Structure 1
Amino acid sequence: MSNETVYYNAYSGMPLRDRIAVVQFLEQHEKTEKKENICEALDYALKVKPSFGGFILVARENGKIRGVIVSNCTGMTGYNASHLFVFATYNHKSDCDRNTMLGLMREAIRYAKGQVAMHISPDHPALTLFQQLGFKSELLALRLDSTVSMAVA
């Protein structure tokens, strides 16, 4: 059994074949995300688009992706976390993959070297795993879609 964790960033780049596999994995396991949003997060992590960069960690077993973390640097510290784990995804049905993800998260936290934030839903299948690593729910996120017309009282 061959296990490996591959680290990608702006300096290393990411081969197209690997990028396609990561996008497909995230599409399969992050069912609410659009492909263009996934690609944009990868572009920011790899500095394909102007950004502070970041990194992508991919855990593989016998060549098959078992978990992915996409981290975007925010360029902020103090009042906002310096790293946003945009995606931290694995196959939630497998205990083996859960352990793989636990190790992948620990490695990603070491690479981040600072504050880390994640935005996940309250019913996210990995919530307890993230809490086990020390993540705490601190804020309620509010979002406004500015394309929707606002009613003024």
Structure 2
Amino acid sequence: MVIKTYDAFTRLSTMEAERFANFLFHHQEGKRAEKQAIRKAIQYCTKDIPGLGGYVFSMEEKDEILGLAVVNKTGMGDYIPENFLVFFVVHKDHRDKGIEQKLLDYTLQYCKGDVAVHITSGNQCPNKHFFEENGFNETHMEMRLNR
């Protein structure tokens, strides 16, 4: 089992980025993000679109993706965490094998500064308890005006 890190310096090929987007799209739970939004978060990490960048962490075994974490840097601090964990997805066939913990530990060790994760409201996010067990806590409720 290997965890690979991708960012603006260790770029993803177009094919690999699409492979990651497909994995995240098909294995996410709760409120589903559109594939275009997933691609955009990945492109932001690798600076294929303008921004501060971030990281994509891929846990794989024998070319099979077991889990992915996508972190966008915010450029903030103090009032908004420096890192936003946009996607954290483990393949459904590999859950409850400690993969979530290994991937999160690696992600948190690699990222400097505070880390935020958005949990969808209601019972749509089965891993809320997992994040709470790892030190994440509710700080506020977000409301959004979609235009």
TM-score by length of 2: 0.91
One-letter amino acid of the counterpart of residue 131, structure 2: F
Unaligned 5+ segments in structure 2 are none
SS at match of 1:129: helix
- Give the 3-state SS of the residue equivalent to 1:85 in structure 2: strand
Q: Which TM-score applies when normalising by structure 1?
A: 0.88
**What is the aligned partner in structure 1 of residue 134 from structure 2?**
133
Question: Structure 1, residues 29-68: CA drift from partner, whole Å, max 9, x if none?
Answer: 2261101000000111111111011010000122111110
Write the letter of the residue equivalent to 1:4: V
Q: How far, CA to CA, are the matches of 1:134 and 1:37 in structure 2?
A: 27
> Are 2:58 and 1:58 aligned?
yes
Deviations 1:103-147 (A, max 9, x none): 11111111111100011124211111111110111110100013x
Aligned to 1:106: 105
Q: How far 1:20 moved relative to its partner?
A: 1.8
Shift, 1:92, TM fit: 4.5
| Identical aligned residues as a percent | 27
Equivalent position of 2:86 in the other structure: 86
User: Which structure ranks higher in relative contact order (CA pairs < 8 Å, sequence separation ≥ 6)?
Assistant: 2
Aligned length: 142
Q: What amino acid is the match of 2:36?
A: E
